[in-house]
Structure 1
């Protein structure tokens, strides 16, 4: 079954996720959707020192938004900040150093951010980890899971009170959490998106064979970030129901066609309860393995 799904994924990807797929889809984009000012609105973007995150931060800064870039490497983050300010003329770009794979640090960062800031309009969970060999963090959790799932859960859950009291709050989130939290927190507009296959440092380093094979077909980082930027800034976005999955500015199914993938409501609730338990355990742990 996994081979079958991989074949479906590759066929769909060649048609839709490549540069040509973006070019075809973009013919129906409305330029006016992004003819907006973000002055007075604040955005937090994880993993914003390169690739899709940086392209998103750049676009928001050019529209006047306040941008909080959250990265694990201070030097790279500061370099990205300087480039964004230089290109946009917007000095309201701030660096926060955080490794999302260190779960307790995520708690500490989010709690401190809430105390220091009165509002946050948009949270963009862009940072991701693709470690091909098993690694564990200081809490004994596998690094991909700690970064891509638990870190995202903790950061979002902790910042929800700040988002709820802000104007037109939005969150870009993973699929299952997006659907679950869209129902649990109706004041916030949750969405998730697929960037397509984009030419980013993460792809080239984590998937070298795929990158070498597809390099000439990959989208640029700007093309990969287009729907993310649209979800974060456009007024059109909030006309869609919260909790949807988007690709090239259109809501799409979260499942591949004919792939027979599905999670029951009971399974989703059990998954979210498990994340909550892990998050609380990490918050109060002293670094022992979980």
Structure 2
């Protein structure tokens, strides 16, 4: 009898949680068109990046899918064109694990395009190995923080020329688990025994928020805004990079409670198109609403300034902000 009651309670709790999560999932209700606007979506070939790119293409924007994998990028481009009816969608190669690739992408984009209205730093990696890129940076930190930082700075001249440029950085509530040590930003002090994939991911997502905070200060006096967001716990390929004992069982049980990819893209889309945030900058969003960040470090404006300076140093790059 006790076991039956427990099973009924668990089923009821599971059902209640499912309904609650679906009802509280933020949906972008803005129908604004983007005809004449130019958009870059990094990682736009898959997951919430693809859903974001497809939505913005449906609004009439000129959409650039900035992706590492050519075949997947072209396939995503063709699918978006077919479903949206917008032929102004393009694939451009961008490998965030290579600063040479980032610089080449930016140089070619500036040479070929007259403006940039929306930059969505969506691409990211979870569960990254303890390896260094050709640039000497930790793979997870470069992909999630250093490369988007550099890309944004390089593309700023075009963003500045926009009537109302927007920079959107996809972060995560994982930043709540992070403790940022600026003396170990590139994780040089980590050994094989102390290295943690989840720690690297959390730190990189905290860096996304702090980058947004400092960037918003440096954008004052321009018509460009920047905001960061938590998309929700989304059923995407990035979850496949997470592994621990019984993870497959846990994913099977959790899957109905996760956001699908369309739902996961809604806050990004909201920040890209909504008039409600036209003059909002340096803030953090979840479910299409502005919310408070989760830790003192994420609110630390001085830490954000120092992160910017150290990032420039490690990249051997000086921004023009």
Q: Which residue of 1 aligns with 2:219?
A: 185
Q: Deviations over 1:216-255 (max 9, x none)?
A: 211000000001111101212215x211000011111111
Q: Which residue of 2 aligns with 1:286?
A: none
How does the TM-score come out when normalised to structure 2? 0.75
Q: Which residue of 2 aligns with 1:93?
A: 89
CA distance in 2, matches of 1:36, 1:85: 19
Q: Which residue of 2 aligns with 1:278?
A: 314
CA distance in 2, matches of 1:196, 1:21: 14
Q: Give 5+ residue unaligned stretches, structure 2.
A: 1-12, 170-207
- What's the CA shift for 1:153? 0.4
Q: Which residue of 2 aligns with 1:285?
A: none
The answer (yes or no) to whether the contact 2:34–2:60 under 8 Å persists in 1 is yes
The answer (yes or no) to whether the contact 1:40–1:65 under 8 Å persists in 2 is yes
SS in 2 for 1:246: strand
CA distance in 1, matches of 2:243, 2:106: 31
Taking a change above 3 Å as real, the CA distance of residues 269 and 69 of structure 1, as seen in their structure-2 partners, is same
Q: Which residue, out of 246, 256, 260, partners 1:220?
A: 260
CA distance in 2, matches of 1:83, 1:51: 14
CA distance in 2, matches of 1:194, 1:207: 22
Q: Which residue, out of 106, 113, 118, partners 1:117?
A: 113
Q: Deviations over 1:35-85 (max 9, x none)?
A: 111110010000011100000001011111110000000000011011100
The answer (yes or no) to whether the contact 1:22–1:248 under 8 Å persists in 2 is no
SS in 2 for 1:95: strand
Q: Give 5+ residue unaligned stretches, structure 1.
A: 1-13, 283-290
Taking a change above 3 Å as real, the CA distance of residues 280 and 19 of structure 1, as seen in their structure-2 partners, is farther
Deviates more, 1:263-272 or 1:107-116: 263-272
How does the TM-score come out when normalised to structure 1? 0.83
CA distance in 2, matches of 1:19, 1:78: 35
SS in 1 for 2:81: helix
- What's the CA shift for 1:168? 1.0
SS in 1 for 2:259: coil
The answer (yes or no) to whether the contact 1:44–1:123 under 8 Å persists in 2 is yes
Q: Which residue, out of 76, 80, 83, partners 2:79?
A: 83
CA distance in 2, matches of 1:120, 1:21: 38
The answer (yes or no) to whether the contact 2:167–2:225 under 8 Å persists in 1 is yes
- What's the CA shift for 1:266? 3.4
Cα-Cα RMSD = 2.4
**2:50 paired with 1:54:** yes
- What's the CA shift for 1:161? 1.0
- What's the CA shift for 1:101? 1.2
Matches within 5 A, 1:179-258: 179-186=213-220, 187=222, 188-207=224-243, 209=247, 211-239=251-279, 241-255=280-294
CA distance in 2, matches of 1:22, 1:262: 25
CA distance in 1, matches of 2:317, 2:38: 31
- What's the CA shift for 1:19? 6.2
**2:64 paired with 1:64:** no
SS in 2 for 1:236: helix
The answer (yes or no) to whether the contact 1:131–1:143 under 8 Å persists in 2 is no
The answer (yes or no) to whether the contact 2:28–2:267 under 8 Å persists in 1 is no
The answer (yes or no) to whether the contact 2:57–2:84 under 8 Å persists in 1 is yes
